[in-house]
Amino acid sequence: MRRPYITMLILVSLLLGGVQEYLYQRSAWLAGKNRGLIEFRSAQSISISNYFAWKYMPTIVLVTYGVLWQIVDYEVKRLEPYYQLSKPDGALAAHSLNLDYLTYWSYLAPVKALRYRQWAVVSSSVATLLAGGLVPTLQSASVTLYPDSKNRRVNELKFVRINPIWSRLLTTSLVLVAVLGLILMLQLRRRSGLLSDPKGIAGIAAMAQKSHILMDFSGLDTAKPDVIHQKLRYQRYILYKSCFWQGEYVGHDTDEPGIVPNANHHNPHPPMLRLKAGIPFIAFMIIVMILIPVFTFTSANIVTEKLPFLFTAMAVLIKLSWGTLECDVRMIEPFYILSKRNAPPKTLTLDYTGTVPGYIIFHSLINKHFLISLVGIGAIATEVLTVCVSSFAVKGSDFFPAHNNNNNNTTTPAAADHSLTHSLFARLPQALSTSPNMNTTAPDPRQQLGGDQTVRSFWISFSLAQLILLFLILAATLVYLRRRHAFLPRQPNTIASILAFIHQSTMLWQFIDTERMDSRTMTQHLTALGQTYGLGVFRGRDGEDHCGVDREPLISDYRHGHKYDFARQNRVENWEVL
């Protein structure tokens, strides 16, 4: 989120927009001379560098560009509550302590941010949706092959050109992303009350140990998000020098009422980790896995000829949905470890939500958190899937080895349509083993009928896309098998939710004067104390039983659905509590 990084993204956006406009102008000039950016009779005759630059490099560049924006978006959403609290008069709980963007559906995040008038999140979320979703789709649609499949003949020249409509939409989108980046950079000049980067439960505990706001969370150990909101809705809170403080009590006459967050009384998990979302998501990936061969190898391929960006749009939808699932799994992982009891001190500083995509795979492997690594690999796989499906706007039956070796060079694409059920599996090994160095003086018809694909490139892309979809389906199934059960009273997706878990924890004494510590120093500090931690029922600082996170030993585990009565009869108050 630093200025040089965002400046780099703005410049890259403008550079990509300029390159796209240059390609369009160059293509239009060549089209006037009946030429194209790339000219060929057979895709086999194109050099490897030109073929890669045409078919794969643009998608790879734009997918990487989208990931770079995703990193910014994660950080902006994670830190926005702290910026709101850092205002001179603080912020209402609904706009700060109860604020959650990370587990919110990414498509709706800009709408929510508009309601709260939080322009940094509006800018970053819209820019990320454009850069990671719309831009790759428009790029896939902007590069076209002339003549079209109906008028294409085997021995005629084919031209790669830029579609003017899709190209101008793509350039406009990139310029818009640059403008949003500029707005974001201006927004991030706001004052921040943070002295260090708040990571994990420990980061929030360190900011709460000096103030009295923990008293506001009395009785909210297992409360649902809407109950917490109702109790805090008329109170402002302030962040000053990495410490939470109570602000003005605004009462019922406020001109800025809190917005009641969505709450689910039956399932404390984020929406994407519930089966209501998981089953449709897995079903959608199965449908896409089926549609790829159907739209590629049957007469239904007319759909992809008319909409060449269809599979790219589907892949982008899978990528964004997987990103939401990955973020949810990242968020609950520390609490899942704590629910298993006797967790090491580094669990309190563990925060995967702010970890850079890609690096999280290795970071979680070092920590032996294999499910996090799995969903991280899945996130990378969705990016590769976006690249692979850009090759499917062709007639796949053209790439099967022919029954008859006497096929001549005047065969039309319609004559090469074979039975899908027989050809797809019976001929795939032979197609993949076809030599890439075929005689170009007597070209094989199946190398030319696809127009912009070679036999080998098509089958590699097709096989890789199907394998990735199969992997994503199996990985998502494993996630729901391992994480769909409730082990928390509510989502730990807001500052208020975590404060309610620790408001009476005896471990808070360990965080005195730690608000300036970074994550590494905090981990070393907690490790030196030599204690373990857990999630469950514990004896609090007030002498009563509470449910939340505390140092071991705890009284018992937390069991979801069990009604806890934390009142302790005939207890004796500590003077420090009174």
Kindly indicate the confidence band of residue 365, based on its pLDDT and cuts at 50, 70 and 90. very high
Q: Is 494 left (phi over 0), alpha (psi -120 to 50) or beta?
A: beta
Q: Which residues contact 58 (CB under 8 A, 6 or more apart)?
A: 139, 143
Q: Higher confidence at residue 301 or residue 157?
A: 157
Q: Which two tokens mark 151? A: 């008028």
Tell me: do 165 and 214 sit in the same domain: no
With respect to residue 495, please indicate whether it lies within any of the assigned structural domains.
yes
Terminal C-alpha separation, the chain: 44
- The identity of residue 450, as a single letter, is G
Tell me: do 82 and 104 sit in the same domain: yes
The predicted-structure confidence for 86-118, as pLDDT tens digits, reads as follows 998 889 988 999 998 887 777 888 999 999 999
Kindly indicate the confidence band of residue 564, based on its pLDDT and cuts at 50, 70 and 90. low
Q: Which residue has the tokens 């505990």?
A: 205
- Per the structure, the count of domains in the chain is 2
pLDDT at residue 38 is higher than 90: no
Query: What is the SS3 assignment for 158?
Result: strand
With respect to residue 272, please indicate whether it lies within any of the assigned structural domains.
no
Q: Whole-number mean pLDDT of the chain?
A: 82
Tell me: do 52 and 169 sit in the same domain: yes
With respect to residue 58, please indicate whether it lies within any of the assigned structural domains.
yes
Using CA atoms of 93, 95, 96, 100 in order, give the dihedral in degrees to the nearest 10: 110
> What average pLDDT score do residues 525-534 get?
94
Tell me: do 216 and 168 sit in the same domain: no
Q: What is the pLDDT of residue 427?
A: 44
Tell me: do 178 and 214 sit in the same domain: no
> What average pLDDT score do residues 54-71 get?
87
**Contact of 59 with 139, CB cutoff 8 Å:** yes
Tell me: do 91 and 111 sit in the same domain: yes
> What average pLDDT score do residues 48-73 get?
87
Distance CA 128, CA 333 (A): 25
Using CA atoms of 106, 111, 117, 122 in order, give the dihedral in degrees to the nearest 10: 40
Indicate the residue among 191, 219, 239 that finishes a domain.
191
Indicate the residue among 145, 163, 191 that finishes a domain.
191
With respect to residue 429, please indicate whether it lies within any of the assigned structural domains.
no
With respect to residue 89, please indicate whether it lies within any of the assigned structural domains.
yes
**Contact of 351 with 200, CB cutoff 8 Å:** yes
Q: How far is CA 549 from CA 210, 339, 340, in A?
A: 18, 9, 12
When computed from its CA atoms, the radius of gyration of the chain, rounded to whole angstroms, is 28
Report for 149-158, 208-217, 262-271: range of highest mean pLDDT? 208-217
Tell me: do 112 and 229 sit in the same domain: no
Q: What is the pLDDT of residue 571?
A: 46
**What is the pTM assigned to this prediction?**
0.78
**Contact of 70 with 128, CB cutoff 8 Å:** yes
Tell me: do 96 and 141 sit in the same domain: yes
The predicted-structure confidence for 286-329, as pLDDT tens digits, reads as follows 999 998 888 887 777 777 777 777 888 889 899 889 988 998 99
pLDDT at residue 401 is higher than 70: no
What is 69-102 written as a DSSP string?
Answer: HHHHHHHHHHHHHHHHHTSTT-EEGGGTTT---T
Q: What is the pLDDT of residue 434?
A: 42
Domain span at residue 48? 1-191
With respect to residue 360, please indicate whether it lies within any of the assigned structural domains.
no
Q: What is the pLDDT of residue 145?
A: 83
Tell me: do 180 and 211 sit in the same domain: no
Tell me: do 167 and 33 sit in the same domain: yes
Greatest alpha-carbon pair distance for the chain in Å reads 98
Kindly indicate the confidence band of residue 212, based on its pLDDT and cuts at 50, 70 and 90. confident
Q: What is the pLDDT of residue 383?
A: 85
Q: Which two tokens mark 458? A: 């098509």
Tell me: do 48 and 167 sit in the same domain: yes
Q: Which residue has the tokens 């690999």?
A: 377
The rounded Cα 188 to chain-centroid distance in angstroms is 22
Kindly indicate the confidence band of residue 426, based on its pLDDT and cuts at 50, 70 and 90. very low
Q: What share of the chain is helix, strand, coil (3-state, %, to 5)?
A: 55, 10, 35
Tell me: do 96 and 186 sit in the same domain: yes
| Burial of 405 per CB tally in 10 Å (0-12, 13-18, 19+) | exposed
Kindly indicate the confidence band of residue 397, based on its pLDDT and cuts at 50, 70 and 90. low
Q: What is the pLDDT of residue 306?
A: 74
Distance CA 260, CA 94 (A): 7
With respect to residue 301, please indicate whether it lies within any of the assigned structural domains.
no
Q: Which residues contact 335 (CB under 8 A, 6 or more apart)?
A: 487, 488, 492, 535, 549
> What average pLDDT score do residues 431-442 get?
41
With respect to residue 480, please indicate whether it lies within any of the assigned structural domains.
no
Q: Higher confidence at residue 76 or residue 1?
A: 76
H helix or E strand, kind and range, residue 39 = strand 38-40
What is 167-229 written as a DSSP string?
Answer: HHHHHHHHHHHHHHHHHHHHHTTS----SS---HHHHHHHHHTTSSGGGGGTT-TT--HHHHH
Closest-CA residue to 198 (of 117, 96, 273) = 96
Q: Which residue has the tokens 């390609």?
A: 23
